[in-house]
Amino acid sequence: EVELVESGGGLVQPGGSLRLSCAASGFTFSSYEMNWVRQAPGKGLEWVSTITGSGSATFYADSMKGRFTISRDNAKSSLYLQINSLRAEDTAVYYCARRPISRREFDHWGQGTLVTVSS
Amino acid sequence: VMTQTPLSLSVTPGQPASISCKSSQSLLHSDGKTYLYWYLQKPGQPPQLLIYEVSNRFSGVPDRFSGSGSGTDFTLKISRVEAEDVGVYYCMQSTQLPLTFGGGTKVEIK
Provide, for chain A, the percentages of residues in helix, strand and coil under a 3-state DSSP scheme, each rounded to the nearest 5.
10, 50, 40
CB pairs under 8 A between A and B: 52
Say if the Cβ atoms of B103 and A44 lie within 8 Å: yes
Across chain A, mean pLDDT equals 96
Average pLDDT rounded to a whole number, residues B75-95: 97
Q: How confident is the model at residue A101 (pLDDT cuts 50, 70, 90)?
A: confident
Say if the Cβ atoms of B100 and A47 lie within 8 Å: yes
Residue B101 confidence (pLDDT)? 98
Average pLDDT rounded to a whole number, residues A20-33: 97
Q: Is A70 helix (H, G, I), strand (E, B) or coil?
A: strand
**B48 shares contact with chain A (CB less than 8 Å):** yes
Say if the Cβ atoms of B58 and A107 lie within 8 Å: yes
B95 has a pLDDT exceeding 90: yes
Q: How confident is the model at residue A72 (pLDDT cuts 50, 70, 90)?
A: very high
A102 has a pLDDT exceeding 90: no
Nearest Cα neighbor of B7 from B90, B101, B109, B68 is: B90
Average pLDDT rounded to a whole number, residues A10-30: 97
Surface-to-core class of residue A17, CB atoms within 10 Å of its CB (0-12 exposed, 13-18 middle, 19+ buried): exposed
Say if the Cβ atoms of B46 and A111 lie within 8 Å: yes
- Strands (DSSP E) found in chain B: 2-5, 8-11, 17-23, 36-41, 48-52, 56-57, 65-70, 73-78, 87-93, 100-101, 105-109
Average pLDDT rounded to a whole number, residues B87-99: 97
Residue B74 confidence (pLDDT)? 98
Pairing of strands A32-39, B100-101: unpaired
φ/ψ of A104, rounded to 5, equals -125, 10
Distance from CA of B15 to the nearest CA of A (A): 26
**Cα–Cα distance, A62 to A69 (Å, whole number):** 13
**Cα–Cα distance, A71 to A107 (Å, whole number):** 20
> Are residues A5 and A72 in contact, defined by beta-carbon separation less than 8 angstroms?
no
Q: How confident is the model at residue A103 (pLDDT cuts 50, 70, 90)?
A: confident
Q: CB count, 10 Å around CB of A7?
A: 12
- B49 bridge partner residues: B39
**Cα–Cα distance, A47 to B40 (Å, whole number):** 16
Average pLDDT rounded to a whole number, residues B89-108: 97
Residue A16 confidence (pLDDT)? 97
